[in-house]
A and B are shown apart, each in its own frame.
Chain A
Amino acid sequence: MRISVNGQAHDLDVDPETPLLWALRDEIGLTGTKFGCGMAQCGACMVHVDGMPIRSCVTPVSALEGRDIVTIEGISGKEADAVRQAWVALDVSQCGYCQSGQIMSAVALLSVEPKPDDKAINDGMAGNICRCATYPKIRAAIHAAAKSLEG
């Protein structure tokens, strides 16, 4: 089986049911995408497939042949730059473990909604749990990133 991650093709010799999360982490060695629940509850495993945020813990690799997978290590573009800059400037992270997923969701949100209000942020980020409750800073960082994209 062959999948494309961050623009690179990878041949995988695994059970086709293997969730993308474990293929990324164990087979390809991209460990920025995290495991938090394994059942589409927490968003720690968020990646982009053809530009859409998906939870890699419940997506089998067999569904991804020919699709364009992007992880935290490969995310690029103006939204990604703005989000990462805001995340650093505001020191969003505490333990940091959820933040790859938060960033992937935030980038996806800004791609479809360049100027999200609080309600849009609540909806767009509802799938990402942060047990450290960095939520106020996540919200502020998304607003800051949106602002920087305007100018």
Chain B
Amino acid sequence: MGFQTPITSRRAILKGLGGLVLAAYLPSVARAQEAGTKPLPPLVPNAFVRIAPDDTVTILSKHIEFGQGPWTGLATLVAEELDADWAQIRVEHAPSDVKLYANLAMGAQLTGGSTAIANSYMQMRRTGAAARAMLVAAAAKQWKVPASEIKVEKGVISHASGRTSRFGALAEAAAHMPVPTDVVLKDPANFRLIGTDLPKPDTFVKSHGQALYTLDLRDPDMVIAMVARPNRFGAKATAVDDSQARKIKGYLSSAIIPQGVVVFAKSTYPAMKAREALKITWDESAAHKKGTKAIVADYMEQSRQPGAVAATRGNAMAKIAAGGTQIVEQTYVFPYLAHAPMETLDAVVRFDGQKAACHFGSQGPTIDQGAIATALGIKPENVSIDVALAGGSFGRRATASGDFAAEAATCAKAYGKNVPVKLVWTREDDMRGGFYRPLYVHRMRGMVAPDGTISAWHHTIVGQSIMGGTPFEALMVKNGIDDTSVEGASDMPYRVADFQCDLHSTKQGVPVLWWRSVGHTHTGFATETFVDMLLEKAGKDPIDGRLALLDASAREAGVLKAVKELAGWKGRKAGDKGYGVAVHKSFNTYVAQIAEVMRDENGQPKVTHVWCAVDCGVAVNPNVIRAQMEGGIGYGLGHALYASLDLDESGQVVQTNFDKYRSLRIGEMPVVDVVIVKSAVAPTGVGEPGVPPIGPAVSNAWRALTGTAVTHLPFVPGETA
């Protein structure tokens, strides 16, 4: 077959303001919630909906599809109000244009923080309603009947006179109708698509090897770029000898760039071989040379002192200092983690000296436009990005610096010819490349009264700030507190009179990043295992004990009750099985899980069954929600059980591929049952919130079974530093 993908041609207009705009906005995920109440942007149906003469309706998704289902979700919202037939719906990515395609929760074109549905809920429904109104206006004009008498149902426009039309026949006329300034939305009671299981529009191509990812983009003139990187973060290449590489057929050239040494070749395998053949001199004077063990020891020491206060009420410190028999103290260690999406990082950039035409799985086109522009020394409006499907991300494709986008641009500039340059990362590049979930140490101390009430709770967190040192620092770090380090801990839901959560933000030469559910990856684990231990000490049932510490109306209580019923909860242990529960809110979605855990033949935990209750407001696509709960559980469980990204004592990454960075496999995936709690609240995201509860639920089950609390992750350390 050998299709070719035009790299330069597709985009006609680019009105985007580019990357610098972003700094004016807070990328706070909490703001997704407010999006519904803020004034909505003007309706531009043409930017989001294209109706073709053949009746197909193409929705342009402003959010990248890398598995979490925004293509399905956004299309459902439009199709609902448009009264389209689901079979006529197609979806494509919108190109980079922040004016049209900004995430309304962030002000930049960016996918993240589980905001896709939350920020699009009203916008996409209004878009669908506006397009419907324009079709109806066109029909009214053509048929000379009042618009109010026209009905639209499942892609058919009709009038009592017997006239009917499908969308395609009226599309051209509708495009010339005025765009309504306001529209009436459906009463949710009349939803026909929202709340039902709809087939996903990206399923067919993904089941036939036809989905196009960045790695699949081809062009006769394309050059492959691969970067030789230093063994330690912060080292720089100072000299390169390519005399051996020159002997490799397909090798073109190489160049020193800030990231290392880039190799150019006609295809991928010669690029790999040539990269291996380079002799590079590195300057390691500024390199990071500290290992995981030393970092953990430092953090342990720091955790003995309170840090900057993130939240406090009463006087937890004094209460605990006064002592008592009911004090529980526990430390936790969370390793660095790589995202390791299945598709490694890649990007295609073509630079003609003035403009850059790019095509890749861009999670944050606004940031990437800015980063590419800076790397090339041009204006962001001269950078266009076509967004490709991506083979996962889990956060990795969005960095504050647009790291790999800028790297691809740097490579294209270094090559210096007006051809598409495709930067390809190998798995080793991915795992050695930094931008990890930070390593954290937590120390928790608490007091519980015999009646199960918690009288004091002191939580100290030590670790790198994700926002620190990025353009977001000034906006996101307040009084020394990066909210992404303490979210889920400083606002933990249980009633405690004397409470404090504090934070030591550390500095290391290891780049860190948000990782599927960000701070909740560790705060959820610490708070939910700790409350479980306190309740055990008071002789309370883990579910009833939690419920007693929550307001009856709390949505945490709702999902706890739902999961209790789903699992037929009978207590913490039955024969050779342990049961553990955890509940956690993230990104305004509430998830409770119960894990059933056994000992396998090696004495290691085997998770056999997980029950999950989720409250994400209106359930737009129940099948996507269930799949995201399953996926979040699998992703969270695999890392909690097996994954750790360690640095040896000289600062080199130990786990560089899936042989040592162990991934969950099919035989390790539990049976998962999901119940979606009915809700009329505006929808919130599901891409991340399935992750936080699984680790603590398993830890609590393991403690029920064995008496041992697992608090240093992963459960099953493989080869460590």
Contacts and interface: CB of A to CB of B under 8 A. Distances in A.
Contacts of A78: none
A133 B669 contact: yes
A85 to B, nearest CB: 9
A48 B227 CA distance: 32
Interface of B: 1-3, 65-69, 199-200, 202-213, 215-216, 218, 248-249, 267-270, 273, 340-344, 389-392, 394, 426-427, 623, 627, 630-631, 633-635, 638, 657-659, 663-667, 669, 671-672
Given A134-B630, A137-B630, 12 more contacts: A14-B249, A29-B2, A37-B657, A39-B427, A88-B203, A96-B202, A97-B213, A103-B209, A130-B634, A132-B631, A135-B630, A139-B669
A35 B634 CA distance: 22
B665 A126 contact: yes
B343 A97 contact: yes
Given A37-B427, A42-B342, A91-B623, A72 B631 contact: no
Given A122-B667, A133-B634, A94 B627 contact: yes
A89 B623 CA distance: 12
A146 to B, nearest CB: 15
Given A126-B666, A129-B342, A139-B666, A91 B631 contact: no
Nearest to A83: B207
Interface of A: 14-15, 18-19, 22, 25-39, 41-42, 44, 71-73, 84, 87-88, 91-100, 103, 121-123, 125-126, 128-139
Given A95-B342, A97-B343, A35 B199 contact: no
A71 B627 CA distance: 27
Nearest to B431: A37
B631 A35 contact: no
Contact of A93 (B203, B213, B268, B666): B203
Contact of A134 (B66, B627, B638, B658): B627
B109 to A, nearest CB: 20
Contacts of A96: 67, 202, 205-207, 211, 389, 391
Given A88-B207, A97-B343, A133 B631 contact: yes
A42 B663 CA distance: 9
Contacts of A94: 67-69, 392, 627, 631
B206 A99 contact: yes
B203 A131 contact: no
A30 B630 CA distance: 31
Contact of B666 (A25, A39, A125): A125
8 contacts: A37-B658, A38-B657, A39-B659, A97-B342, A97-B390, A121-B666, A133-B633, A138-B666
Give the one of A94, A136, A137 with max B CB within 10 A.
Answer: A94
Nearest to A13: B249
Contacts of A131: 340-342, 392, 394, 635, 663
A108 B2 CA distance: 26
A91 B67 contact: no
A93 B269 contact: no
Contacts of A132: 67, 342, 392, 631, 634-635
Contact of A129 (B65, B203, B211, B658): B658
Contacts of B199: 88, 91
A134 B638 CA distance: 13
B66 A95 contact: yes
B207 A39 contact: no
Contact of A136 (B200, B208, B209, B630): B630
Contact of B268 (A22, A34, A72, A133): A22
A94 B248 CA distance: 38
Nearest to B217: A31
A24 to B, nearest CB: 11
Interface class of chain B by DSSP: loop
A91 B627 contact: yes
Nearest to B627: A94
Nearest to B664: A133
A29 B342 contact: no
A36 B663 CA distance: 12
Contacts of A128: 665-666
A26 B269 contact: yes
Nearest to B5: A31
A128 B668 CA distance: 12
B269 A100 contact: no
A103 B207 contact: yes
B229 to A, nearest CB: 16
A103 to B, nearest CB: 7
Contact of B218 (A29, A33, A39, A137): A29
A19 B343 CA distance: 18
A98 B200 CA distance: 17
Contacts of B202: 93, 96
A67 B630 CA distance: 39
Given A41-B659, A94-B68, A133-B635, A27 B669 contact: no
B270 A15 contact: yes
B687 to A, nearest CB: 10
A39 B657 contact: yes
A95 B111 CA distance: 15
A35 B659 CA distance: 15
Nearest to A29: B2
Contacts of A122: 666-667
A125 B665 CA distance: 8
A94 B68 CA distance: 7
B617 to A, nearest CB: 22
B340 to A, nearest CB: 6
Contacts of B663: 42, 129, 131
A54 B633 CA distance: 29
Contact of A19 (B213, B269, B392, B664): B269
Contact of A91 (B200, B267, B342, B633): B200
A95 B270 contact: no
A71 B657 CA distance: 25
Top-7 shortest CB links A-B? A133-B634, A32-B209, A97-B391, A29-B2, A96-B206, A72-B209, A94-B67
Contacts of B633: 133
Contacts of A42: 342, 658, 663
B222 to A, nearest CB: 9
Contacts of A25: 215-216, 268
Nearest to B340: A131
Contact of B67 (A26, A73, A95): A95
B636 to A, nearest CB: 9
Give the one of B67, B200, B344, B672 with max A CB within 10 A.
Answer: B67
B667 A126 contact: yes
A87 B666 contact: no
Give the one of B210, B391, B658, B671 with max A CB within 10 A.
Answer: B391
Given A41-B657, A95-B392, A18 B67 contact: no
Contacts of A129: 342, 658, 663-665
A61 to B, nearest CB: 10
B207 A99 contact: yes
A15 B634 CA distance: 40
Contact of B1 (A30, A93, A133, A139): A30
A128 to B, nearest CB: 7
